[in-house]
Amino acid sequence: MRCMRTHTNKKRINTDTIRMVRGTSIVCLLLCVVLVAVGSEAAVSPKTTNSSDPPTVGNEEQQPLSTLIEDPPLLVVNPPPQVEIASSAGNKTQNTDRNLKHSLTYDGLYEEGVKHYLENDWSQCVGYLELAIKDYRWYTETLTRCRRDCKGEALAATPLAVSRSNEQEFFETVIKGALCLLKCRHKHFGGSRKQHVAPVSVDREFEIRKPYDYLQLCLFKLGRFQNAADAAVTVLARQPDHDVMANNLRQYIDDFSADADLLQNLELEEYATEYVKGDKAHTDEDYEHSVQHMEAALSLYWRALEDCRLLCEEPYDQGWFPDFVSSVANHFTFTFRCKRRCGDKLGNLYGEVNANFLPSIFNYLQFGYQKLNNITAACVATESYLEMLPADADMIKNKQFYLNDYQKMDRFFIPRPEVVEHAARENYEEALLRFIDTEFVFLDTEKQ
């Protein structure tokens, strides 16, 4: 199946017309994920990189539990079932939602879920894994909110002195932000959470959506085939080359009546949901709703981008004892590289990274606004796109079309302010990253 869609054959005006820049339909991307899974004829043997990996459906030999690992924010389709969890006092308490007051954090809940998986206790496996996913999501959302609020509070704080050097101003802001963060963490992560830090290996597992790997098999064992298929799609959205999961998804659809039309990525964020709706409305030529959804996607994307960058401000084990300046520079570079990956991370909705995801929103907007005869808004969207991708030939032609066919429109080609700010940051950070990668190379050369 061909999954590329172009819009060059729309109704033409004169010899040229407004066009959509060539791209991939989101609806088509999901379809491709399904077709890749369904199109596989032979069952694929399970991967053996981790001895505790869930086997493929139909190959259910249990294996010993090895090192656990976990990863970022995850969503849940259904509320988790009631699960009995031992509190720190040894009593049994029932918890079905957040606020989770028991002593187990997401890494402990995850470990319990895997333990029940190995014991063939499918109901408890599902319960603990769904709680782990939900708790991790709550933790990351709360941590992000603390960092966002404290960053704003520190920047707005009254300075301790009128006359300060740039260095003093910077570190005063850092110190005030750190104090705010300590207070916020104490407020929200008190009790057993206050001193607890999940292993890095666990966070890595959540990053690749490993909990959903276990979850899909436990759901299958309970006969919840549609939910199992959704969990499989969620894994494939992050790991599109996961052959075992693709084989499982094929079996859920072919052999266990999971409905391919109802499949969903359970980790799709709000901005992505709006984007998918906007893409579908565009495909249906419902340009009014396409524009509405894309504007919503844009607003939510800015927030998601900053949240992603804030989550990068994590601890860093440098593995040695550098001096003050080197320590600051190393930790900054560690978080900086993480922040530079946020664009690609947010542009991956169904297993394929769209490196130009943000410009693509303005691509939809300029096309939709032109169809709605809002030429001023179309010009702004066009220039916003070109602010990020100034050499794009199709969009340059679109701009020329507006200039040729609409009188006195040149004054409306002004990019949105937030796009100008974003593009400037991107250009600076790319330059800084090139500097780091080229100027520090002598350290590796000396080792040879």
The predicted-structure confidence for 138-166, as pLDDT tens digits, reads as follows: 999 999 999 999 999 999 999 999 888 99
In tens, the pLDDT along 263-281 reads: 999 999 999 999 999 999 9
Residue 109: its pLDDT value, please? 96
Residue-level pLDDT at 261: 94
Give pLDDT, residue 163.
Answer: 86
Residues sharing a CB contact under 8 Å with residue 79, sequence separation 6 or more, in sequence order = 96, 97
Contact predicate 21/6, CB 8 Å: no
Q: For the chain, which residues make up each domain, given as ranges?
A: 4-20+270-420, 29-64+214-262, 83-205
pLDDT of 28 over the 80 cut: no
Token readout for 120 is 């063939």
pLDDT of residue 58: 46
Q: Which pLDDT value is given to residue 83? A: 37
pLDDT of 201 over the 60 cut: yes
pLDDT-derived band at 92 (thresholds 50, 70, 90) equals very low
Tokens of 401: 């079309």
Pairing of strands 83-86, 92-95: antiparallel
**Res. 67: pLDDT tops 60:** no
User: Residue 53: its pLDDT value, please?
Assistant: 56
> Rounded to an integer, what distance in angstroms lies between the CA atom of residue 56 and that of residue 46?
6
Which band of pLDDT confidence, cut at 50, 70 and 90, is reported for residue 443?
low
Task: Compute the mean pLDDT over every residue in the chain, rounded to the nearest whole number.
Answer: 82
Q: How far is 241 from 36, CA to CA, in rounded Å?
A: 10
pTM summary value: 0.79
How far is residue 264's CA from residue 262's CA, in Å, rounded to a whole number? 6
Contact criterion met (CB below 8 Å) for 368 and 287: yes
Question: Residue 70: what pLDDT?
Answer: 29
Predicted pLDDT at 8: 34
Residue matched to tokens 């064992």: 221
428 has pLDDT over 50: yes
Question: How much of the chain, in percent, has pLDDT values that exceed 90?
Answer: 67
- What DSSP element (H or E) covers 335? helix 324-340
For the stretch 279-289, pLDDT in tens is 999 999 999 99
Structure confidence by residue, pLDDT tens digits, 76-91: 333 333 333 332 333 3
- Measured CA to CA, the distance from residue 294 to residue 281 in angstroms comes to 10
Q: Residue 367: which of 1, 29, 3, 5 has the closest Cα?
A: 5
pLDDT digits (tens, 9 = 90+) for 161-191: 988 899 999 999 999 999 999 999 999 987 7
From the centroid of its chain, how far is CA 151?
A: 22
Map tokens 């990019």 to a residue: 415
For residues 279 and 367, is the Cβ–Cβ distance under 8 A? no
pLDDT tens digits for range 335-390: 999 999 999 999 999 888 999 999 999 999 999 999 999 999 999 999 999 999 99
Q: What is the pLDDT of residue 237?
A: 94
